[in-house]
Each structure stands twice: as structure tokens, then as C-alpha cells.
Amino acid sequence: MLPQQFLERMQQFLGEEYPAFLASYEQLRVHALRLNPQKTDAESFFLQRLFGLAPVPWAQNGFFYAPGEEPGKHPYHAAGVYYIQEPSAMAPVEYLFWDGKAGAVPMEQERVLDLCAAPGGKSTQIAAKMAGQGILLCNEIHPARAKILSENIERLGVANAMVTNETPEKLAQLFDGYFTRILVDAPCSGEGMFKKNEDAREEWSMENIALCAARQDGILDCAASMLSAGGKLVYSTCTFAPEENEGTITRFLCRHPEFAIEKVKTYPGMESGRPEWYEGAVREVADTVRLFPHHVKGEGHFLAVLKKAGRRETSAVSLGSRFGLERGMSDSVRRQPGNGVLEWEEFAHETLRESFGGNYIKFGDQLYLAPEGMPSTRQLKVLRPGLHLGTIQKNRLKPSHALALYLHPEQVRYRVDLPADSSEIRAYLSGQALQWEGEKGWHLVTVDGYSIGWAKQAGGVLKNHYPKGLRIHYA
């Protein structure tokens, strides 16, 4: 039930290609997941022979999975071993870090912004590229979606991310020329997702396309001001509408002559931008990239890689927001009981094989470890300022679920490893206590070696600390 006016437009645009395009809607959707290199690698994962995986050509850790498979219901999903993501949607982040070759490793001082980040697929992909280095700011304007974003950052074990719930305009006031790379996966009319998103089909109209295009112009202007000289901006949408693609980029380049489109390597099936689809388009938009569902195994997508003129600074250790860097607790405050640091150090001594510290931030009774060089949280709506260590309760630290998902088994003194196909892991994920003889105290629960949560041993019983909101009620 595709909108008739949409079909007429696409027939006009595509000409001889239109029948193949239309036929793609009769085909089954393809599904993919992206492995989390903080947890596993492709070689190790393939040995488990799960889900019938086949590589996504344009994504370093992306893999199609076979029809009928349900990786979202597997315990590895809860452990953050992978993220389920539409294959075409994996392309923009790959190009954000494309520096003449695919899979280029970012420098230690990268400061990256995902401006429209929920639900977190692209943010966690960025985090995988950064491998715990540099600063990642993930922002989402809608509070409920920002919460989902924060939860996915937690599930994938990301420690160097700051999650905010702000408008692009507010961020632009605070971060002039701060970021070295910015992703704008812009809100759009969603034409490329019609196959899976009924709401997008029902809300489609030419008026909505115009509204989206105007909104994109404003978001991109904010992003332009936040990008450092020599920095890279990737703009992407999941729509075919040229007003939101070639048109948005044309208007942007006219307003910002300091930017230029970067011509990039493409993969089989990827198409060039279509300047002929938008009246007045600059010819350079032919160097943008389109993904059509009748040419690639994926849904519709568009992306443009934009480079800002100037020489990139190779280091900016002292650079922060308008309010500088986040300083966290002073040494005198750290040593006071109840502020969290002493409690954390006691927990770490009892539970971890190796302690780690740094810049501590306390929000209420919650203790966080901020990444080195994180900008100030002042005047920002912050959901997650780094790694959540735990909750301070009666001068003790109760470790967070985020900490469990971040840790590796070799970092803890005590752990309980449960097979993925066992009744014990199902019992654990449903919130049940387990009979277990062992040392008293906190145990990291793992599934086939992947960290998944906490349990506390006392009297031969492992008390379950898997979060109530995440528990799975098996039939």
C-alpha cells in the first residue's frame, strides 16, 4: 500500500529502472547484524556457526543473517555481542572514518558527534571504530528516544561516550569548532524504509518532504559550526526524495562554501547522486552516494561525505566546550565517605583483578567514570557522562549493569559462566536465583565467556542482579 504520488514520482525519476524498483517491494527484507569488536571478532564468532552469516560488503563488522533466524532472542544479544542493524544503514559510519581506505583507525584525540543518534545503531558503530579512544558525544532531541540510545550505549559496553538530550542549536552554542568528525543521520520522510515502516507510509506527503528538508537545513548549519577545520561531516538519510538529498546538499554548499563534497570509493550496487532530479543542483552532488533496494541487499539510503576547509589540528587535549573540560571531583572531595570514590575503590579491591580510575562524576547517588578530556557537562541535559560504575547505598557501591557489560572476564576475581543453550542462562535472564557454591561476593555472570550481568553469592545461592526492566519471561 505505497502512496500513489510517491510511486508516480519514482516512476518519473527512475524511468526504465522503475519496474525493478517496484518489484523489490515484493521481495523479503534482508536482515543484518554488526559484531561488537569490544566483545568478539569475526573469526571467533564464525566458529560458532550461528545465524548463517554472510558479509555486508561495505561494513567492516556487518553480516547478513539467514531468513528465519532470530538473533535478537539469543543471549548474545543481551550481552552486547552484536547490534541488529539494517545493512544499508551501516554505510554512513564506514564513510565517516574513510580516510583513503576502508576501516581506517581514528586517532586518539578524535572528538566525534552523532547529532541525531537514537536508537544508537550508528553511535555504537562509531564507538566500535574508536575502540575506546577519544570522545564520542551521542545526542538525541527526543527524551524517550534518548533513553533508548543510552540503553544501547550501555548494552554494547561503550565507556567513552557522553549521551545528551539537547537541540542542535543548544549544542552549537557550546561546541564551536570542537568536533573532528560529525554524523548527521537526519530525520527524513523515510521513503527508503516503506517496506518495514507502516507509519512512514501513512505520514508521507509532499508537505512532509518540504518540512523535513527545512529541518535538515537547520541541523546541518548547526553541524557546520561545530566541525573543526579540516574535519569531516557525513550527512545521511533513508529517503529517496531529492529535496532531502541532492537538494539539501546543494543548499548547504551554497550557504557554506568552506565545505566540499569528498569523492569516495563505492561498492557494487551503490549509485552516484542524481543531480538531474533536483532543479538547480550543483554538479558536485553526483559524488554523493545512493543505495537503492533493487541494486543492493538493503533498503534505500543516501549519504554525502563533506570536508571542511582548513588544516586539521592533530592534538587538542585542553579543548572542551564553551565551559572547558569536565573536571569531576577534586582530590579532597574524593576522599570523603559517601561521595562514591572510596566505595568504588573498596568494591574494586574486592571484586576486580585490576582497578581503574580517572575522572569521577557523581549524579545524585550514581557514580560515573568520565573519559579523559570529556567536555564539561555544565548547562547540558546529560543522560550518561561516560561509564556508569554503580549506585552508592549505605557507604557501599552496588555495581551497575553497564559496568558488567563493559568488563571482560579476566578483569574480575569471580565469575559464573553459563552456556548459551542452558536452562541456567534462561533462569538468570528471567531473574531467578541460582544454586552456586563459591566465594562470597559479587560474581560477573558470563554467557560462553561474554559478560552479561551481576550476581551476588551468599550461602550457596547466587542472588540475581540482572535488571528487572530487561528480564525475559520465557513461555
Indicate the pLDDT class of residue 317, thresholds 50, 70 and 90: very low
Q: Look up residue 281 and give its three cell numbers.
A: 543542483
Asked if 326 and 370 count as a contact pair (C-beta separation under 8 A), the reply is: yes
- Annotated catalytic residue, options 188, 212, 222, 238: 238
The per-residue pLDDT for 319 is 61
Q: For residue 116, what pLDDT is reported?
A: 98
Q: How far apart are CA 475 and CA 470, in angstroms?
A: 16
Kindly tell me if the per-residue pLDDT of 316 is higher than 60. no
Are the C-beta atoms of 435 and 460 separated by less than 8 Å?
yes
In the chain, what percentage of residues exceed pLDDT 70? 97
Q: 437-465: per-residue pLDDT in tens?
A: 889 999 999 999 999 999 999 989 999 99
In tens, the pLDDT along 79-108 reads 999 999 999 999 999 999 987 654 454 567
Residue 322 vs residue 252, higher pLDDT: 252
Q: Average pLDDT of the chain?
A: 94
| Rounded (10°) CA dihedral 149, 154, 160, 166 | 30
Phi, psi for residue 113 in degrees, rounded to 5: -120, 125
User: Of 5-9, 311-315, 426-430, 470-474, where does mean pLDDT reach its minimum?
Assistant: 311-315
pLDDT of residue 315: 54
Of 409, 419, 404, 406, nearest to 455 (Cα)? 404
Burial class (CB in 10 A: 0-12, 13-18, 19+), 53: buried
The type of residue at 334 is R
Looking at residue 372, its pLDDT comes to 87
Q: Give 275-284 contacts, CB < 8 A, sequence gap 24+.
A: 275/246, 277/13, 277/242, 277/246, 278/242, 278/243, 278/245, 278/246, 278/247, 278/250, 280/250, 281/242, 281/246, 281/247, 281/250, 282/249, 282/250, 282/253, 282/254, 284/253, 284/260
Angle separating helix axes 121-130 and 143-155, nearest 10 degrees: 40
Assigned C-alpha cell, 78: 543481551
Q: Write the DSSP string, 380-445.
A: S-EEEESEEEEEEETTEEEE-HHHHHH--GGGBS-EEEE-TTSHHHHHHHTT--EE--S-SEEEEE
Would you call 188 a catalytic residue per the annotation? no
User: How confident is the model over 113-125, as pLDDT tens digits?
Assistant: 999 999 999 999 9
Q: What is the pLDDT of residues 10-49, one digit of tens each?
A: 999 999 999 999 999 999 999 999 999 999 999 999 989 9
Instruction: Say what the pTM is.
Output: 0.96
Residue 398 has a pLDDT of 97
Residue 357 has pLDDT above 60, yes or no: yes
pLDDT at 61: 96
The answer to whether residues 2 and 201 touch, using CB atoms and an 8 Å cutoff, is yes
Which residues, in sequence order, are CB contacts of 323 under 8 Å at separation 6+?
174, 375, 376, 378, 379
Dig out the grid coordinates for 159 from the structure.
565507556
Tens digit of each residue's pLDDT (9 = 90 or more) over 158-184 = 999 999 999 999 999 999 999 999 999
Q: Please, which pLDDT band fits residue 314 given cuts at 50, 70 and 90? A: low
